Amino acid sequence: MAARILSGKSIADAIKAEITAEVADLREVHGFSPGLTVVRVGEDAASAVYVGSKVRTAEEIGIKSEHLHFPAETSQDEIIAVVEKLNGRNDIDGILVQLPLPKHIDEREILERIDPTKDVDGFHPINAGRLMQGYPALAPCTPAGVIEILKRSDIEIAGKHAVIVGRSNIVGKPMAILLLRENATVTICHSRTADLGEITKQADILVAAIGRAGFISGDQIGEGATVIDVGINNVSDAEIAATFFDGEELEKRLRAIENRGFTLVGDVNPKEAMEKAADFTPVPGGVGLLTVAMLMKNTVTAAKLRRRI
């Protein structure tokens, strides 16, 4: 039996509808709309697409949004000055600096300059520490979105063995903390893990977040597992695409490669995962759609926390 596909779109739409109602209530009862500013530096094509999606979604929901775009040669001190000005603005509840930044800018310093109460990406060390210790905190959007997918798909987390492949500060580590909060037993795997497949096969919930196209194969997945694919990778080789897809889906992917030069693939081999897993998130159409929705949710949460609502 093929795995159940967990639709990121339907879950993201439900979250956005809830946030829209919450924003309307803040406007009617408390007289303000949350504000979000996205800072982009340089001409990275993918960043431009992501920022456009975030700004459009904010406007649809009723969040006031700003997009500040600076040329690639903008200095680090200039970006710090922009962030500090935004920190001082009472009408701005969320600040997001789109990554990656140009190489001459220290990403860590820029992110640490953001007021933690406005850090809607959840990357500031103070928010990371609060998350670790179980205090209210703005959690990174992608791991928070994974939790929403699991809960809203009626997948039990408590008491289950969750295995995460990847240990980044953006996904792997906060994912582990959020799963622990839900009373899962958590194992983190990484590039130095011995016998990776033997560990991933034990997972009731397998989260792949390593950035390698189709790296997790079917023989690394336990029968009946829930597989959450966080990866987003470009595949431009038709022969490689044929190892991940077949039938109509392969034809669609080959057309994408022909028309735009690539197709998007996750960190899990989808053809093989569909034969082993009970539940599976597709790429695209899965976790990625939740990331923007959770950014909006964090912006509203930040607005309420700052005003003690």
Tens-digit pLDDT profile for residues 64-73:
999 999 999 9
Average confidence (pLDDT) over 97-109: 95
- Tell me the one-letter amino acid at 39: V
Q: Rounded to whole angstroms, how far apart are CA atoms 171 and 230?
A: 9
Q: Rounded to whole angstroms, how far apart are CA atoms 144 and 149?
A: 9
Average confidence (pLDDT) over 7-21: 96
Q: What pLDDT sits at residue 63?
A: 97
Does pLDDT of 104 surpass 70?
Answer: yes
Q: What pLDDT sits at residue 80?
A: 97
What percentage of the chain exceeds 70 in pLDDT?
100
Q: What pLDDT sits at residue 157?
A: 98
Does pLDDT of 48 surpass 90?
Answer: no
Confidence label for 44 from pLDDT (cuts 50, 70 and 90) = confident
Q: Rounded to whole angstroms, how far apart are CA atoms 68 and 214?
A: 36
Cα separation values, 296 from 34, 85, 108, 163, 200, Å: 10, 22, 23, 28, 32
Nearest of 170, 167, 122, 118 to residue 303 by alpha carbon: 118
In Å, how far from its chain's centre is CA 247? 29
Confidence label for 2 from pLDDT (cuts 50, 70 and 90) = confident
Does pLDDT of 47 surpass 90?
Answer: no
Does pLDDT of 255 surpass 90?
Answer: yes
Buried b or exposed e, range 52-87, using 16+ CB within 10 angstroms: eebbebbeebbbbbbbbeeeeebebeebeebbeebe
> In terms of CATH architecture, what is 34-115?
3-Layer(aba) Sandwich (3.40)
Other residues' Cβ atoms within 10 Å of the Cβ of residue 172: 20
Does pLDDT of 103 surpass 90?
Answer: yes
Q: What pLDDT sits at residue 1?
A: 63
Q: Rounded to whole angstroms, how far apart are CA atoms 289 and 293?
A: 7
Confidence label for 273 from pLDDT (cuts 50, 70 and 90) = very high
Confidence label for 45 from pLDDT (cuts 50, 70 and 90) = confident
Domain boundary assignment for the chain? 34-115, 141-231+266-289
Q: Rounded to whole angstroms, how far apart are CA atoms 243 and 264?
A: 14
Q: Rounded to whole angstroms, how far apart are CA atoms 45 and 53?
A: 13
What percentage of the chain exceeds 90 in pLDDT?
95
Q: What pLDDT sits at residue 269?
A: 97
Q: Rounded to whole angstroms, how far apart are CA atoms 95 and 221?
A: 38
Does pLDDT of 49 surpass 80?
Answer: yes
Same fold: 34-115 with 141-231+266-289: yes
pLDDT digits (tens, 9 = 90+) for 169-199: 999 999 999 999 999 999 999 999 999 999 9
Identify the residue whose tokens are 């792997």: 172
**In this structure, which CATH number among 3.40.440.10, 3.10.450.350, 3.30.110.60, 3.40.50.720 belongs to the domain 141-231+266-289?**
3.40.50.720
Angle at 210 between CA 279 and CA 230, to 5 degrees: 35
Nearest of 56, 81, 59 to residue 70 by alpha carbon: 81
* Mean pLDDT, all residues of the chain: 95
User: What is the C-alpha end-to-end distance of the chain, expressed in Å?
Assistant: 48
Q: What is the largest CA-CA distance in the chain?
A: 57
- Tell me the one-letter amino acid at 132: M
**DSSP for residue 299:** H
Are 227 and 206 in contact, with CB atoms under 8 Å apart?
Answer: yes
Does pLDDT of 107 surpass 80?
Answer: yes
Catalytic residue ranges:
54, 98, 121
